[in-house]
Chain A
Amino acid sequence: DTAVSQTPKYLVTQMGNDKSIKCEQNLGHDTMYWYKQDSKKFLKIMFSYNNKELIINETVPNRFSPKSPDKAHLNLHINSLELGDSAVYFCASSQGRSRNTEAFFGQGTRLTVV
């Protein structure tokens, strides 16, 4: 059983489209995250939710909107996709918000905008 699962694994779409990436965790964690990994492998946090409440919202364009229907899900919706949005997006989860908490990552969604 996959602990943190993301769908789809690959996503190719045209500029201007709207797309969603889904994330589900079956670990019973209360905190979930979205990270973006760019072409240079730089991994940067985008959002963090704790018990469905937005905790971290880094300087991400408002075209990106996370949605957390429950503690086990954190979906990422992206409007008006741009070429620069091409990246690998990782979902992660952890239990609690303490600094020594291990985050468990999904396998990533490779988004390619053409």
Chain B
Amino acid sequence: AQSVTQPDIHITVSEGASLELRCNYSYGATPYLFWYVQSPGQGLQLLLKYFSGDTLVQGIKGFEAEFKRSQSSFNLRKPSVHWSDAAEYFCAVDGGYQKVTFGTGTKLQVIP
């Protein structure tokens, strides 16, 4: 069965600092991977996705993620965090037939 682990429940970074959110997945075949962001009181919005090709994926809002098969990881990065990036971030893997499994999320706090 597929699974997703986000080891960091809560992360605090200073505005302007770089950010990396960790995601590890477990899936038997080639994974389809996603990062979603959930702002307070809002639904989830897709940041980026990977299913083939270049292992470095660019997304919206200046985010990128790198797929590393050897490490079963799909970490999300941003070079310079803005206060508006404070939200909850979810990594997800699609095992087929829309059976998407989400991680438990990482809450990002941005301090001035």
B104 touches A42 (CB 8 A): yes
Give every chain A residue within 8 A of B46 (Cβ-Cβ): 102-104
Given contact pairs A41-B88, A43-B90, A99-B32, A56 touches B99 in the complex (Cβ within 8 A): yes
- B contact residues, total (Cβ < 8 Å): 22
A43 touches B42 (CB 8 A): no
User: Interface majority SS on B: helix, strand, loop or mixed?
Assistant: strand
List which A68-99 residues lie within 8 A (CB) of chain B. 90, 92, 94, 97, 99
Which of B45, B99, B100 has the most chain A CB within a 10 Å cutoff?
Answer: B100
Is A44 an interface position by the 8 A CB rule?
yes
Give every chain B residue within 8 A of A59 (Cβ-Cβ): none
Considering only CB atoms, which chain A residue lies closest to B44 in the complex?
A105
B63 to chain A, nearest CB (A): 15
- A contact residues, total (Cβ < 8 Å): 26
Given contact pairs A99-B94, A100-B49, A102-B49, A45 touches B100 in the complex (Cβ within 8 A): yes
Residue positions of A touching B, CB distance < 8 A? 4, 31, 33, 40-45, 48, 55-56, 90, 92, 94, 97, 99-108
